[in-house]
């Protein structure tokens, strides 16, 4: 179980933690039994990997699958559209929309 007050575990089955207070690059996070430095800023309400997540593995939040990892995600890393494909909505980024007609 995480001891870091900036992170919350919503369900014991989850493989992600939710950010309760903005994380700054370089902050040391208590994730499970390890201390992990944040690689970049992570906004409020985004997800961090609770443990190592393998490419192809389901992302679990609230004990339910919300997406699939598109790359290996190390414990403590930001879990978002750059490494997850949603099970519910298409994943869009500004880069994917360049050149698209309106």
Confidence of residue 77 (pLDDT cuts 50, 70, 90): very high
Domains and CATH numbers, the chain: 7-96 (2.30.130.110)
Using the predicted structure, report yes or no on whether residue 12 has a pLDDT greater than 60: yes
Using the predicted structure, report yes or no on whether residue 100 has a pLDDT greater than 50: no
CA distance 102 to 68: 29
Alpha-helical regions (H) of the chain: 94-97
**4 contacts 10 by C-beta, under 8 angstroms:** no
Q: Give CA torsion, residues 8, 78, 56, 50, to 10 deg.
A: -30
Q: Which residues contact 71 (CB under 8 A, 6 or more apart)?
A: 55, 83
């Amino acid at each position: 179980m995480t001891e870091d007050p900036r992170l919350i575990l919503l369900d014991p089955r989850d493989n992600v933690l939710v950010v309760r207070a903005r994380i700054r690059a370089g902050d040391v996070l208590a994730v499970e039994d390890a201390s992990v430095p944040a690689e970049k800023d992570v906004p409020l309400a985004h997800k961090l990997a609770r443990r190592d997540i393998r490419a192809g593995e389901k992302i679990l939040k609230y004990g339910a699958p919300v997406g699939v990892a598109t790359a290996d995600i190390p414990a403590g890393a930001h879990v978002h559209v750059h490494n997850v494909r949603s099970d519910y909505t298409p994943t869009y980024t500004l880069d994917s929309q360049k050149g698209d007609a309106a």
